[in-house]
């Protein structure tokens, strides 16, 4: 998945986007490869999800990515998936109070959450009906693993 991420980050850099690596792939920054990753979740500026979506989509498609779910802003390349969402969810859902709380993602041109903020995000998500029905036990496992990591 790292090579896949590098391709994505190269495109985002051209668009002047410094993304937030989110979801379980982001959590792996702290927990290591604790599972097989099905996709990468990336948070970006709201404008690219909304008014600049057409331009954003065209650029990704020109690089060989196939749009597989427009509602979820999800692309596929070589059997790997990436989904984009607005980073404003972090503030809306009170995961962070300010973007300055984000931390550098490895040595890449990207950001991610602290382990404590990932824990907040996963605890928030287990209240979501869709996630309860589709991810239930998996999210609880990540919450448990993050708790152990933070206590170390």
pLDDT tens track, the chain, 152 positions: 789 999 999 999 999 999 999 999 999 999 998 888 889 999 999 999 999 999 999 999 999 999 999 999 999 999 999 999 999 999 999 999 999 999 999 989 999 999 999 999 999 887 765 444 555 567 889 999 999 999 98
Question: Is 100 within a domain?
Answer: yes
Q: Hey, how many other C-beta atoms are within 10 angstroms of the C-beta on 128?
A: 13
Question: Is 71 within a domain?
Answer: yes
Structure confidence at residue 135 (pLDDT): 56
Question: Is 20 within a domain?
Answer: yes
Question: Is 136 within a domain?
Answer: no
Structure confidence at residue 136 (pLDDT): 54
Structure confidence at residue 51 (pLDDT): 96
- When divided into structural domains, the chain yields a total of 1
Question: Is 121 within a domain?
Answer: no
Estimate the share of the chain in helix, then strand, then coil, as percent rounded to the nearest 5.
Answer: 50, 20, 30
Question: Is 98 within a domain?
Answer: yes
The whole-model pTM stands at 0.92
Question: Is 133 within a domain?
Answer: no
CA–CA dist 66, 141 (Å, integer): 31
Read off the tokens for 75. Answer: 């692309």
Question: Is 41 within a domain?
Answer: yes
Domain assignment of residue 61, given as a range:
2-114
Give the domain CATH number at 40.
3.30.460.40
Closest by alpha carbon to 63, among 42, 48, 46, 77? 77
């Amino acid at each position: 998945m790292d090579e896949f991420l590098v391709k994505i980050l190269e495109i985002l850099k051209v668009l002047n986007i410094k993304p937030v690596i989110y979801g379980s792939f982001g959590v792996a920054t702290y927990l290591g490869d604790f599972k097989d990753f099905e996709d990468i979740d990336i948070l970006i500026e709201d404008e690219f999800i909304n008014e600049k979506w057409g331009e954003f989509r065209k650029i990704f498609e020109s690089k060989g990515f196939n749009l597989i779910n427009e509602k979820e802003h999800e692309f596929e390349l070589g059997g790997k998936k990436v989904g984009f969402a607005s980073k404003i969810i972090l503030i809306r859902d009170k995961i962070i109070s300010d973007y300055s709380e984000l931390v550098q993602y490895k040595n890449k041109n990207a950001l991610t959450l602290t382990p404590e903020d990932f824990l907040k995000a996963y605890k928030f998500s287990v209240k979501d009906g869709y996630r309860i029905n589709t991810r239930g036990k998996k999210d609880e496992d990540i919450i448990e693993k993050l708790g152990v990591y933070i206590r170390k």
